[in-house]
Structure 1
């Protein structure tokens, strides 16, 4: 509708877009020159003045259009006005701009188009709407549609108690600058707080440069300097999320708050230092219920509307002050004393019913209560046959009659205190089991500690000793394995750290383990003569023994499954006396092992990353979006298998989750191989510090997904390590399929080039199949290899007749997930077609991880959602047909491999069949053909011969192409490649 403003504003004009309005009262109120000229003149004079003079002065015709904003946002339009092509910015909007430009700082035309699929220009023309702004003014503001991220018409209507038929957006704009107190446009902006905390903004509003706080916030030239509400910090958010800062620099957002309100609040990003939205949502059932019910848009809005008012906690309590260790030591002793009454009526039984599997050596000098507590802990901890050799170093307390309370001990009565070392050596001569455990008498064992240590010792013939995670009485670590430094000093790795820290929770070879708990091969220790008595009476004897074991070709292994609590210096006369003995023993150790010490690192925090492990194995850093748990589905299953293959190939593996890992401890430390360090407490914002501390220790860095590589390139480019970039899937292919589904034009070639642009030529780039590898090579990369998927067969015995129902397995991580689209397409279009064909359609069972806050919206009596299922085998055993109606995706669909592995034939979209390169191994239908998809399901569901044939052909194809052993070998080959 190319009509100029002078025509559209004329009262007689028959065409009236809602934005083509001249508001005389508003105009005269806001422009003093017009008011002066038009004073005393009849109605209509103001419009004449605007068209002849005011438009050229930058006046706006009504509160619905902002001339100065429009010209500022579109400098090319300003130039056209200077050339005389248009009378004003509003004139340009009338003729051209209404087709796609934003007319006001409180309406975002691009956002409106993005939020609502029906807001295409073709649809608008069909309904006689002159652009999206016209639709919003006529309908959208009444339909709870969002025209700007900071204006919520429903919120404003409720706050102002507007009557039906009154437009909240128009009312809000009309009242700005009218002398009334400024109302909040949404829960996301607080004008009163804003002017109170930004005096410069208040001054400029008072001078008339801006009509309101919201006007200042959305149009000032330094948006990074102004926070909109008390609960959001622009500076914090940019520092916390460098990817957002980069997006702002690229012009994607005006400021960080725009990204947060539009996207970050749903991702539960942290808005300020003191607010944790994940904690807020997860802690309060009320919050989760309100969000699930749609009462509030997001957790941040809920916090501002409800949580602050009702005092709901929105951040974890501050870390508790350090517990006084002296007090916990005293509590440890008191508990030991309190337990003595138990043994007055029931003895501890250590009598041997079978040859012992372990000989426990414990040395005691007085401290009867601690010794009894330790022995009770030992008996309760391990039910297997064991020999307990107790060397009593001349005790004068009740230890001298300990046999009254403990039966079956091998008791050595020593007439005087000859020290720990010599007493332990005397006890070693009595050990009869193949394993000997040196155990302090001031400990309490963690669950299954002895059994776990024995299992580790038996795991490999070259393991000579196993040591424990030792926790002091106040809950902090004493050690997670021991380190030896060049000057002969030693350190307990991670001393004073948290027992749940990632660094303390993976198996590794260490320099030594403390004699607090040290399980050794008896023959090896006896061959070495036990502890070296030059260290008598005590200290460094355990370090020296481990060094000699390693010199004999045996490993010392730290296993975090072996845990105990230790009252440090519990058997010493004083702590200082113990320290003096340590200094003496250190001099002896330094003299004896001078040659070994010369090759060790100097004591330092950086050196600890090398000294904590002595395996000599190569190190790889594996980087993913999150910790690759198999239950998350998607590409994380393949990533999980890659990590396992890395560990099996003998590499030290560390996993870095760039987006964090909001999962329980058991999943984090139990799902991946025990020797993998899962850095669950790290994420992208710590990248600079992480690579400064660890960057130099890696032989190879393996980055999953190209977007992660681009995020980390500033730090990766300085590393000497080899680089592998695993594309996981070419994302452009997924985008192309989605565009085709919507009938949109999409240049996949350009998108692929953009996706792989900037990857260094020295990096090895991986693709999941040869087709995608060819695409990547087409961008100019030469070092492209294929790493597919590994999946072994586990065919169930259940036959066709004993099965029923359909099965869909897939994770839903976000709203635009291919799996969510698949399910919605099935329910909306395929299911009705299936019902028409079969009468009563089979029930579809849906299983898979669903991200927090993400709904499925697939309600139907013929669909049962199981959510995340720990063991899918029972579902596969019952299902007759697996369905995969995927309409956009990239890579290769692991879900189909898994279904075939369990022996369930598949009906998939032709998109997936093409990605697989499969033919008659499955049935397929086009992504636009719901009826065809339903026909294929009905065929396979009702034809046993076809069902058996598909099952057998698919199983054979899986074995031929996806052997897990071949996959693991391929990972090993990539690790060691050039």
Structure 2
């Protein structure tokens, strides 16, 4: 196993060095012969060694990579109209062996011969009122244009209607023939004379029907949900235009947003770096985004007069548009890493500005841009510090928030609370850098935080790498919010690095109290000793922190009795849940419980419920079924399954269970903190029977909004009573929402504001 990890580690590391060094050399004008420079020899040696050892130990990914290269007949990089098939195959094998194909994105489409393309058809649905007009300007390069369109077919947007406009700037290959004979549902327009990229786009914008204009280069290939992620960001009225993460065909990053310095020179942030570094994977405001994949409202584009024609034929027009959006419309230019587009940069115009080439307009238009935006550029950085430049437009208030995992908000109460707190803190104007203690980039929860605008530092390339990333990218921290005692100890070094930061210690629940209760229930003397040790840790941390957070007032009082004076209550957040149908008493049946079963109090509760409480209930009401909802059911839980006990496991949308079950029963015998399951049931107006421990800290009143039972006999009696008494059931249901008012978004947000 160690050898496998060693191969993966060094294989990736040295393939990155090979690709990064070579393509940076290409950016400086070196030819492909640069690959033979002696500085690459050591890198090649490590790469070949990794392949050799991988073959010896039958490492699947190594074997698959090499076999694929030998079977590859086509290439995404070599046009078969210009290269012989044998030459392409040999080059692909060699470049794979030496690491140049290691990062190539999965599913990338190979280039086809023009003759073959003319035998194929591309068809899109015709849409009369599209939300988005996809504008693709083209000049020759039919093989790339075809792949661009094919990638859109392969990855259609889920929730966005669109039209495609292809504007042909007098191509002299088979582009015109293909679009007039082989396509359906594409608006194809051919210019009478060559206009250049800028005027081409302006022409298309005039005939576009969409509410949004999306400019897409023809030398691109889109990926899954690329358009959905762009359009979502316009739900915020402050957003003016949005751009994608651009990835080179060879797999390294082209751009994670653009940076403009005070002299009008620009930089593609992250160019030729790894795409999966956390610093490139959060939504943020940027100076500009490349017109290779850029979206703007049509109304805003028209108001600004389109791309400024002083930049004709091309270059700086996209940067100028972004500056106009910010400085004239007062809106934000946003980079979205979730919208990923592969870009074969420079196919039409090259990558180096040479005299007489269109690329040379980059230098000419830079001067025009500098003159136009002279006053605005004074606010930009003088020094080409890319990391600082990338964070220049972040909110001034910065918070580091640390929890055990990226909040799995639909799986456990603690995660839901953390997710909601992050949302509220964002609304209070903070940029949040979230650090999951397990360092994992867990989906779909990573995307959910990213869409919220939170920067997540996941594993890169390992846990120490994540810590280095945190140290190198985080230039300041005003507040450091750390959950749970063990993580406050682990990340205590942060307070040496940021001594002026406000330290917030979030207990989540008092761990020592939960352990002590469990020890008493299970008569475990060793656990009692452990609980005392944890208590010492928790009290020590609470004394050091600027603020200590508890989730209930009960736990606040416990800490204050121990001499802790800096305690604030930030509870779970609960809002009434809208239901399509409010099922009545006689329409409902069954008993419901929900909980994450990697939490021992939940296991104990359902074992007690099924093994001891329900057998007595079934004697009188044998048809009652019990449903045990929740993630990660253990063997102990799964063995409870029977004709009378249903264990669905994790269910993403639990609404149907809460609206059709008659009562919620949570016989918790130990635990601590506020129980999210109780608040969740109240939010659905589902009457609750629980213990004092289940109801603690919520201010619930027996008989008004909850029924309390603490012994087996009490649970049996109250289940039988509430299950058959419509009046009592209706009273509890009616009063449920009133009990949640202290835990509303507005109430919790107000308390948060006082602390941070």
Q: 1:451 to 1:864 in 2, by over 3 A?
A: closer
Flag the 1:528–1:673 CA change in 2: closer, same or farther, 3 A. Answer: closer
SS at match of 1:635: helix
Give 1:445's aligned residue.
Answer: 222
Alignment of structure 1 residues 749-788 onto 2, 5 Å: 752-759=535-542, 761=544, 763-788=546-571
Mapping of residues 117-516 of structure 1, within 5 Å: 328-330=76-78, 335-338=110-113, 341=116, 346=121, 354=128, 358-375=132-149, 381=156, 384=161, 386=163, 388=165, 390-392=167-169, 394-399=170-175, 401=177, 404-405=180-181, 409=187, 411-416=189-194, 418-425=195-202, 434-447=211-224, 449-450=226-227, 452-457=229-234, 459-486=235-262, 488-497=264-273, 502-516=278-292
Deviations 1:451-499 (A, max 9, x none): 6544544x24443222122232233332232222455443333334555
Aligned to 2:517: 737
Distance 1:556 1:492 in 2: 15
Alpha-carbon distance in 1 for matches of 2:691, 2:58: 47
Secondary structure of the residue aligned to 1:696 is: coil
- Please, what is the CA RMSD of the aligned residues? 4.1
SS in 2 for 1:729: coil
Aligned pair in 2 of structure 1 residues 344, 642: CA closer, same or farther (>3 Å)? same
Cα drift, residue 339 of structure 1: 7.7
String of CA shifts for 1:896-936, please: whole Å, max 9, x gaps: 1112222322221232234434222322233xx32333233
Q: 1:971 aligns with which of 742, 748, 752?
A: 752
Deviation, structure 1 residue 855: 6.4
Alignment partners' CA distance in 1, 2:230 and 2:686: 42
Confirm or deny: 8 A CA contact 2:589 2:660 kept in the other structure.
yes
Matched, 1:639 2:418: yes
C-alpha deviation, 1:523, in angstroms: 4.6
Task: Report SS of the residue matched to 1:631.
Answer: coil
* CA deviation map 1:805-846 (0-9, x unaligned): 2221111226xx1111222333443344445x5373733211
Report the Cα offset of residue 790 of structure 1: 1.8
Hey, what's the Cα distance between the residues in 1 that align with 2:8 and 2:620? 53
Question: TM-score with structure 1 length normalisation?
Answer: 0.60
- In structure 2, the residue matched to 1:721 is 501
Alpha-carbon distance in 2 for matches of 1:678, 1:593: 34
Task: Tell me which residue corresponds to 1:842.
Answer: 624
Partner Cα distance (1:354, 1:856) in 2: 53
Q: Following TM superposition, by how much is the alpha carbon of 1:781 offset from its aligned partner in structure 2, in angstroms?
A: 3.4
Instruction: Please state whether the residue corresponding to 1:559 is helix, strand or coil.
Output: strand
For residues 425 and 411 of structure 2, the distance between their equivalents in structure 1, rounded to whole angstroms, comes to 20
For the residue of structure 1 that corresponds to 2:444, the secondary structure is helix
- Unaligned 5+ segments in structure 2 are 10-55, 82-108
**SS of corresponding position for 1:549:** helix
Distance 1:881 1:957 in 2: 17
Partner Cα distance (2:666, 2:165) in 1: 61
Q: Indicate yes or no: 2:584 matched with 1:799.
A: yes
Q: CA deviation at 1:891?
A: 0.6
* Equivalence for 1:78: none
Give the alignment's TM-score, normalised by structure 2: 0.76
Give the aligned length.
660
1:579 CA displacement: 6.4
Contact 1:827 1:860 in 2 (8 A): no
Aligned equivalent of 2:666: 884
Matches within 5 A, 1:453-852: 453-457=230-234, 459-486=235-262, 488-497=264-273, 502-552=278-328, 553-572=330-349, 577=354, 581-583=361-363, 585-586=365-366, 589-590=369-370, 592-601=372-381, 602-604=383-385, 606-607=387-388, 609-611=390-392, 614-616=393-395, 618-661=397-440, 663=442, 665-670=443-448, 673-681=451-459, 685-686=464-465, 688-719=467-498, 720-743=500-523, 752-759=535-542, 761=544, 763-794=546-577, 797-813=582-598, 817-835=600-618, 838=620, 840=622, 842-850=624-632
Whether contact under 8 Å (1:824, 1:857) holds in the other structure is no
Cα distance in 2 for residues equivalent to 1:313 and 1:875: 48
Between the aligned partners of 1:647 and 1:332, the Cα distance in structure 2 is 51
Aligned partner of 2:88 in structure 1 is none
The structure-2 alpha-carbon separation of the partners of 1:340 and 1:966, relative to structure 1 and needing over 3 Å to count, comes to farther
Cα deviation digits, residues 766-803 of structure 1 (max 9, x gap): 11122211222334433321111221223662223232
Map of 1:870 onto structure 2? 652
Within-5 A mapping of 1:64-143? none
Question: Match of 2:270, SS?
Answer: coil
Q: CA–CA distance in 1 between the matches of 2:615 and 2:273?
A: 59
Structure 1 distance, partners of 2:745, 2:346, is 50
Contact 2:482 2:505 in 1 (8 A): yes
Q: Aligned equivalents of 1:357 and 1:846: distance in 2?
A: 43
Structure 2 CA distance for aligned equivalents of residues 638 and 931 of structure 1: 33
Given that 2:258 and 2:268 are in contact with CA atoms closer than 8 Å, whether structure 1 keeps it comes out as yes
Greater length-normalized contact order (CA 8 Å, ≥ 6 residues apart): 2
